[in-house]
């Protein structure tokens, strides 16, 4: 278990160094995107339209933050991760099309995403779900908001962050996925628990 501090844009070489169980802190630009933003981004890519921001080497953050406006400036009040599994249907194409190097979220992602991370060079950094105040503290500036018509939680928020983390590298670019391993362990333990509770199959 090693600790890495990376700055965006992150290179493929740097991201390939990361292994599951490593701890990662990110400094630079991270962009939030949830279900709706993922869908629109992929639609736009299909139509050949350019996204409002070039995501290459950046981190995409599964997050619907609370942001407030003071004067003409947005302030991130609370910005923890949302459940990533909902984005599983989009993420492989998202990584392929836009070249993001880190996907930040909670709860993990499945096979399709794990394979795309292996193929294109990206990792999944699990941030503690609900730790929204700590996350907001690492956000030094809200650079812009795009696609605000999707609503506050679903818009693309472009954050400048300093040492955003700790992120647990839970899917690396070598095909390893902690969540898959833990799910397997839970399956194995279930049989023993059944027995203890006196439950048949």
Partner 1 sequence: MAINLLRLAVIQLPQDVKQALQHAYETETSPAGKTNLKTILDNIKLAEQTGTPVCQDTGTIIYYVKAGAQTQDLDKIETALTNATRKATQQIPLRPNAVDPLNGKNTGDNTGAHIPYVHWEIVPGNDVEITVLTKGGGSENVCTTGMLVPGEGLKGLKKFVVDTVVKAGSQPCPPNILGVAMGGGADIAMKLAKKALLRPLNQPNPNPELAKLEDELLEAVNQLGIGPMGLGGKWTILGVKIDYAARHPASFPAAVAFNCWAARRATARIGADGRVEYLTHKVR
Give the interface segment with partner 1, choosing from 10-18, 51-59, 117-125, 183-191 (CB under 8 A).
183-191
Closest CA relative to residue 25, chosen from 55, 59, 57, 56: 59
Q: In this complex, which beta carbon is closest to partner 1, that of residue 154 or of residue 172?
A: 154
Among 96, 107, 146, 160, binds partner 1 (CB under 8 A): 107
29: Cβ contacts below 8 Å, ≥ 6 apart = 8, 58, 59, 143, 158, 159, 160, 161
CA angle 97, 111, 117 (to 5 degrees): 40
- 38 included as an active-site residue: yes
Residues in contact with partner 1, shown as a per-residue x/- string from 126 to 165 under the rule CB under 8 A: x-xxxxxxxxxx-------------xxxx-----------
Q: In this complex, which beta carbon is closest to partner 1, that of residue 6 or of residue 169?
A: 169
Only one residue has tokens 């989009």, namely 90
Residues in contact with partner 1, shown as a per-residue x/- string from 43 to 72 under the rule CB under 8 A: --------------------xxxx-x----
How many other CB atoms are found less than 10 A from the CB of residue 91? 28
The C-alpha atoms of residue 156 and residue 115 are separated, in whole angstroms, by 25
The catalytic residue among 38, 62, 101, 106 is 38
Q: In this complex, which beta carbon is closest to partner 1, that of residue 122 or of residue 136?
A: 136
Q: Is 13 in the site for partner 1 (CB under 8 A)?
A: no
Closest CA relative to residue 101, chosen from 179, 7, 182, 164: 7
Binding residues for partner 1, total number by CB under 8 A: 54
């Amino acid at each position: 278990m090693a600790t890495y501090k990376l700055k965006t844009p992150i290179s493929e070489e740097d991201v390939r160094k990361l292994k599951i169980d490593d701890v990662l802190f990110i400094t630079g630009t991270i962009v939030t995107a949830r279900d709706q933003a993922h869908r629109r981004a992929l639609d736009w890519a299909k139509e050949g339209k350019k996204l409002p921001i070039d995501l290459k080497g950046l981190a995409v953050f599964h997050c619907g933050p609370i942001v407030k406006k003071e004067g003409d400036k947005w302030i991130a009040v609370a910005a923890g991760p949302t459940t990533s599994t909902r984005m599983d249907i989009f993420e492989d194409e998202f990584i392929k099309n836009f070249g993001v190097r880190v996907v930040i979220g909670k709860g993990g992602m499945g096979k399709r995403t794990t394979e795309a991370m292996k193929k294109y060079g990206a990792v999944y950094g699990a941030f503690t779900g609900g730790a929204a105040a700590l996350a907001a503290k690492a956000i030094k500036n809200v650079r812009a908001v795009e696609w605000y018509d999707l609503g506050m939680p679903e818009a693309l928020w472009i954050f400048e962050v300093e040492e955003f983390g700790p992120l647990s590298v839970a899917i690396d670019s070598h095909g390893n996925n902690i969540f898959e391993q833990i799910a397997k362990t839970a399956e194995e333990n279930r049989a023993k628990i059944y027995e203890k509770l006196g439950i048949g199959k």
